[in-house]
């Protein structure tokens, strides 16, 4: 079953995804719902998908419905990935979590029981809670989830997946389908998807279970409930499936399904596979011996930077010029002008504290974003807790991160080859890699950054040119 961070982690046994049958509601349940004002759950709308026209949204913003998201997924899986075509499958669309719980999961279930579940696959059916499509993470997150569940349908069609058998491989294959779908749509390069999960799993290598121990569904679910559970299960599963594909020199993971190569290849050789995978991840652990120390820069009036911003379906270049010093709620700040907007960057951390347009704040933070903690030195770590408010759209979000200086790297950007300090930010609770920054002492700011925006929609910035004094 697909998961998206803790919001969608499943608290109910995954076996419901294979052949679970919903029983009729009883009078007791109806009376309970009436008394507590929940209303009676509604049966789902059933959409049968047997053929779809080609649909290739260049960004998640072009997706407006579940049907469009599924059309994009089917298009990519059929035309780009050359995966077996599922001739017909159903999408069961539940109006809200109450209906999803009662008719999709179990007549005895309530919304609280499915608070962390957004969708699941059952044979050739995908059950979808429409209430959760309104989550503020948007259609990037939900399209990944649907692609994951469609991967389960392909797996079921090809191999007849048996509940409880090798969940690491079942889920790893589904994650592979989702990652490859995003790559084909141009939403997130597959290399970045693998880079992300490789960094996560190598960072928490000491917490990871052996793949051999994730061969039954009960252990999988228990492990997913641990601290950094998603990394111990889904991230590890994707790394393992990708490693298996590379090891077998296969063009596609589906060959592992149709030819049953997985079962034929391993059996008694799990120890070897686990050892090779552990060595591979250990090789990616970063521990720098560089003892250089980088102090904070001092910007001067007239310093300029030009950045190229890239997100799915969008590429823009912004010019930023330091025009004065000011304060934001008492915090000393550099003020940069970019078009009609003025942005306040905390002198203490170079993090965006607020943005103004036409004299009105459109964005601001409380507890300044400590993206940088001076001085920078290899292996330094700190916590970063703040709340940001996007006033234009009326959205507020609290952020809690663990930030780490990895070491020093030379990066090749459009502004040239620059020596940088590599910084990584991880979700405090999830352990997921959420951002990467490359700070350049020469440019006095970031040479590039990579933000895994709400999990599955990559946002990148690259320094195009700069002029500093």
Q: How many domains does the chain have?
A: 3
Residue 290 lies in a domain: no
Residues 388 and 280 in one domain: no
Residue 207's nearest CA partner among 237, 228, 234 is 228
Residues 36 and 135 in one domain: yes
What would the two tokens of residue 19 be?
């052949």
How many Å from the N-terminal Cα to the C-terminal Cα in the chain?
54
The whole-angstrom separation of Cα 147 and Cα 180 is 9
The whole-angstrom separation of Cα 19 and Cα 174 is 18
pTM of the model: 0.86
Contact assessment for residue 454 and residue 139, using Cβ atoms and an 8 Å cutoff: no
pLDDT over 50 (residue 262): yes
The whole-angstrom separation of Cα 86 and Cα 77 is 10
Residue 291 lies in a domain: no
112 or 420, which is more confident? 420
Could you tell me the maximum CA-CA distance found in the chain, to the nearest angstrom?
A: 77
The range of the structural domain enclosing residue 263 comes to 164-285
Whether the CA torsion 213, 216, 222, 227 is positive or negative: it is positive
Chain CA centroid to CA 435, Å? 11
Residue 158 lies in a domain: yes
The whole-angstrom separation of Cα 99 and Cα 81 is 34
Residues 128 and 6 in one domain: yes
Per-residue CA distances from 407 to 200, 432, 445 (Å): 16, 19, 16
Contacts of 332-339 with CB under 8 Å at 24 or more apart are: 334/299
pLDDT over 90 (residue 138): no
Residues 391 and 346 in one domain: yes
Omega before 28 cis (within 30°)?
A: no
Stretch (H or E) spanning 229: helix 229-230
Residues 426 and 392 in one domain: yes
- CB-based burial, 255-271: b 16+ in 10 Å, e otherwise: ebbeeeebeeebeeeee
Residue 438 lies in a domain: yes
Residue 148 lies in a domain: yes
Residues 448 and 304 in one domain: yes
Among the candidates 118, 139, 162, a domain finishes at: 162
Among the candidates 285, 319, 334, a domain finishes at: 285
Other residues' Cβ atoms within 10 Å of the Cβ of residue 313:
14
Residues 23 and 134 in one domain: yes
Percent share of the chain, pLDDT over 70: 86
Predicted confidence band of residue 210 (pLDDT cuts 50, 70, 90)? very high
Residues 331 and 347 in one domain: yes
Residues 320 and 458 in one domain: yes
Residues 256 and 384 in one domain: no
pLDDT over 80 (residue 288): no
**Ramachandran angles phi, psi of 413, nearest 5°:** -120, 175
Residues 192 and 158 in one domain: no
Residue 453's nearest CA partner among 329, 348, 309 is 309
pLDDT per position as a tens digit, 2-41: 433 333 333 333 322 333 333 334 444 444 444 444 557 8
What is the three-class DSSP state of 122?
A: strand
Chain CA centroid to CA 107, Å? 31
Residue 364's nearest CA partner among 347, 386, 348 is 386
Residues 238 and 316 in one domain: no
Among the candidates 133, 162, 191, a domain finishes at: 162
* Confidence (pLDDT) at 454: 61
pLDDT per position as a tens digit, 52-108: 789 999 988 899 888 899 999 999 999 999 888 898 999 999 999 999 999 998 888
What is the three-class DSSP state of 28?
A: helix
Contact assessment for residue 284 and residue 199, using Cβ atoms and an 8 Å cutoff: yes
Placement of tokens 């059309």 in the chain:
71
Residue 434's nearest CA partner among 417, 453, 462 is 453
Contact assessment for residue 133 and residue 141, using Cβ atoms and an 8 Å cutoff: no
Residue 122 lies in a domain: yes
Residue 292 lies in a domain: no
Residue 222 lies in a domain: yes
Domain CATH for 455:
2.40.360
The whole-angstrom separation of Cα 256 and Cα 299 is 55
Other residues' Cβ atoms within 10 Å of the Cβ of residue 45:
14
* Confidence (pLDDT) at 271: 84
Out of 49-53, 249-253, 446-450, pick the least confident. Answer: 249-253
Residue 431's nearest CA partner among 240, 288, 229, 279 is 229
CA angle 389, 342, 386 (to 5 degrees): 30
**Ramachandran angles phi, psi of 63, nearest 5°:** -90, 125
């Amino acid at each position: 079953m697909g998961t998206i961070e803790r919001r969608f982690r499943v608290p109910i046994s995954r076996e419901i995804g294979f052949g679970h049958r919903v029983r009729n509601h009883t009078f007791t349940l109806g009376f309970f719902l009436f008394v507590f004002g929940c209303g009676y759950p509604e049966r789902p709308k059933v959409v049968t998908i047997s053929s779809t026209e080609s649909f290739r949204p260049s960004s998640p913003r072009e997706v407006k419905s579940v049907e469009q998201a599924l059309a994009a997924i089917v298009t990519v899986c059929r035309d780009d990935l050359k995966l077996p075509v599922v001739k017909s499958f159903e999408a069961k669309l539940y109006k809200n979590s109450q209906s999803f719980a009662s008719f999709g999961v179990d007549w005895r279930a309530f919304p609280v029981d499915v608070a962390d579940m957004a969708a699941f696959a059952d044979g050739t059916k995908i059950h979808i809670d429409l209430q959760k499509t309104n989550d503020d993470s948007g259609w990037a997150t939900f399209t990944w989830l649907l692609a994951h569940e469609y991967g389960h349908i392909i797996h079921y069609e090809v191999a007849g997946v048996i509940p409880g058998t090798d969940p690491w491989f079942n889920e790893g294959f589904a994650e592979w389908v989702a990652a490859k779908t995003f790559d084909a749509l141009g939403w997130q390069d597959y290399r970045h998807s693998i880079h992300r999960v490789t960094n996560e799993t190598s960072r928490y290598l000491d917490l990871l279970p052996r793949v051999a121990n994730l061969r039954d569904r009960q252990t999988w679910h228990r492990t997913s409930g641990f601290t950094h559970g998603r990394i111990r299960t889904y991230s590890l599963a994707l790394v393992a499936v990708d490693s298996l594909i590379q090891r077998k020199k296969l063009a596609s993971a589906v060959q592992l399904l149709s030819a049953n190569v997985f079962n034929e290849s391993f059996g008694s050789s799990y120890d070897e596979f686990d050892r090779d995978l552990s060595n591979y991840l250990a090789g990616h652990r970063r521990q720098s011996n560089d003892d250089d120390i980088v102090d904070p820069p001092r910007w001067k009036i007239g310093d300029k930077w030009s950045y190229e911003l890239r997100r799915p379906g969008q590429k823009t270049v912004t010019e930023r010029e330091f025009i004065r010093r000011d304060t934001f709620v008492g915090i000393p700040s550099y003020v940069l002008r970019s078009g009609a907007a003025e942005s306040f960057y905390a002198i203490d951390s170079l993090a965006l504290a607020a943005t103004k347009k036409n004299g009105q704040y459109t964005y601001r933070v409380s507890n300044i974003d400590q993206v940088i903690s001076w001085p920078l030195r290899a292996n330094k770590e700190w916590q970063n807790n703040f709340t940001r408010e996007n006033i234009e759209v009326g959205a507020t979000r609290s952020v809690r991160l663990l930030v780490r200086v990895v070491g020093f790297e030379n990066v090749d950007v459009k502004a040239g080859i620059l020596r940088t300090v590599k910084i990584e930010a991880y979700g405090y609770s999830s352990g997921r890699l959420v951002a990467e920054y490359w700070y350049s002492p020469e440019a006095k700011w970031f040479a590039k950054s990579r933000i895994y925006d709400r999990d599955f929609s990559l946002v990148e910035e690259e320094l195009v040119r700069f002029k500093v004094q």
